């Protein structure tokens, strides 16, 4: 029985490591999702400044801020961690394509909380 104990603890350590990796992957996906959702208002914000009687400086500021948001999203989306997480998700979908439940924000009212 003493020989089974180390095997169980190493198995538990592996599961804990897998759990931690999954939690990190979910945080990465959540951050990507939030950043993507924030970009939905990018063009309306620019158009609002262009159509109202705001100063050219205000318009330039909005365009610069939006450009920064786009650059930040692109950097986050193309970094190695995001690529790894998205590839892992793709492989998981290929291995088990059935019974994947769609995620809905209405089911998770606190989804914007990064804690």
Give the pLDDT confidence of 38-89 residue by residue, as tens digits.
999 999 999 998 888 888 999 999 999 999 999 999 999 999 999 999 999 8
The closest alpha carbon to 92, from 41, 21, 11, 8, belongs to 21
Give the chain's mean pLDDT. Answer: 85
Q: Bigger pLDDT: 11 or 56?
A: 56
Least confident of 2-11, 24-33, 34-43: 2-11
The pLDDT value recorded for residue 80 is 96
Q: Which pTM value belongs to this model?
A: 0.70
Domain residue ranges in the chain: 8-91
| CA–CA separation, 45 and 30 (whole Å) | 23
């Amino acid at each position: 029985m003493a020989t089974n104990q180390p095997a169980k603890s190493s198995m538990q350590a592996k599961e804990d490591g897998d759990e931690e990796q999954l939690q990190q992957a979910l945080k990465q996906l959540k951050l990507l999702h939030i950043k993507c959702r924030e970009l939905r208002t990018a063009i309306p914000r620019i158009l609002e400044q262009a159509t109202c009687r705001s100063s050219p400086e205000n318009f330039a500021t909005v365009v610069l801020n939006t450009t920064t948001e786009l650059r930040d999203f692109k950097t986050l989306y193309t970094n190695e961690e995001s690529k790894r997480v998205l590839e892992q998700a793709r492989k998981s979908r290929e291995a088990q394509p059935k019974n994947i439940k769609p995620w809905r924000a209405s089911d998770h009212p606190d989804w914007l909380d990064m804690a």
